[in-house]
């Protein structure tokens, strides 16, 4: 099986995409081409350290910037629990820091909604199913910070 054929087959399905820069994008794959350029819909972007989230209705990513695609088909319930814990934590943090700005990547196209990392979008991830056709979407994988790359303490992976 060719990787590009698999990607074509994944159209319409939820997937996780990681950029070489470390940010992850969770969304539904709308389309892709032979350069691996992809179009995602209903996207949640997660910062490299896994503790900031942004939501955007549509997102187009150049293939050359990508490093990894993942389907979220074999995630265990424990991952979802981790995700919920992370979201709870972020909600608490965002109560005290409501002035966060989204990254350039969200603003550059002029379509990303400028939300301040606040409770509203975070709740969206937690419910998962409300705009994802019942399948839900997970937040990105955390890669940890300088303390190590265990990824388990800050990032979450999951599906609704």
Partner 1 sequence: MSNGSGLESLVDQTISVITNDGRNIVGLLKGFDQATNIILDESHERVYSTKEGVQQLVLGLYIIRGDNVSIVGELDEELDSHLDMSKLRAHPLKPVIH
For partner 1, the binding residues (CB under 8 A) are: 1-7, 20, 22, 36, 63-64, 66-76, 79, 141, 148-152, 157
Q: How far apart are CA 48 and CA 149, in angstroms?
A: 11
Residue 150 CB, shortest distance to partner 1, in Å, is 6
Q: How far apart are CA 81 and CA 87, in angstroms?
A: 10
Measuring CA to CA, how many Å separate 87 from each of 4, 37, 80, 93, 105? 33, 30, 11, 10, 22
| Unique residue bearing structure tokens 């979008």 | 121
Residue 21 CB, shortest distance to partner 1, in Å, is 10
Please identify, using beta-carbon distances, which residue of 18 and 51 lies nearer to partner 1.
18
Q: In 3D, which of 142, 131, 124, 159 has the Cα closest to residue 46?
A: 142
Residue 115 CB, shortest distance to partner 1, in Å, is 29
Please identify, using beta-carbon distances, which residue of 101 and 149 lies nearer to partner 1.
149
Please identify, using beta-carbon distances, which residue of 121 and 132 lies nearer to partner 1.
132
Residue 97 CB, shortest distance to partner 1, in Å, is 28
Find out whether 120 and 130 touch, Cβ atoms under 8 Å. Answer: no
Please identify, using beta-carbon distances, which residue of 120 and 145 lies nearer to partner 1.
145
Please identify, using beta-carbon distances, which residue of 72 and 94 lies nearer to partner 1.
72
Residue 95 CB, shortest distance to partner 1, in Å, is 29
Dihedral over Cα of 153, 101, 15, 65: its sign: negative
């Amino acid at each position: 099986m060719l990787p590009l054929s698999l990607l074509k087959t994944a159209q319409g399905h939820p997937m996780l995409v990681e950029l070489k820069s470390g940010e992850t994008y969770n969304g539904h794959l709308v389309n892709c081409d032979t350069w691996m350029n992809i179009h995602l819909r209903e996207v949640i972007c997660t910062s490299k350290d896994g503790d900031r989230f942004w939501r955007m209705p549509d997102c187009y990513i150049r293939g050359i910037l990508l490093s990894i695609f993942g389907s979220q088909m074999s995630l265990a319930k424990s991952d979802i629990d981790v995700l919920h814990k992370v979201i709870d934590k972020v909600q608490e943090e965002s109560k005290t820091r409501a002035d966060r700005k989204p990254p350039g990547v969200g603003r550059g196209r002029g379509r990303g909604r400028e939300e301040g990392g606040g409770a509203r979008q975070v709740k969206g991830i937690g419910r998962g199913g409300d705009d994802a056709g019942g399948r839900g979407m997970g937040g990105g994988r955390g890669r940890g910070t300088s303390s190590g790359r265990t990824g388990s303490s800050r990032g979450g992976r999951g599906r609704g």
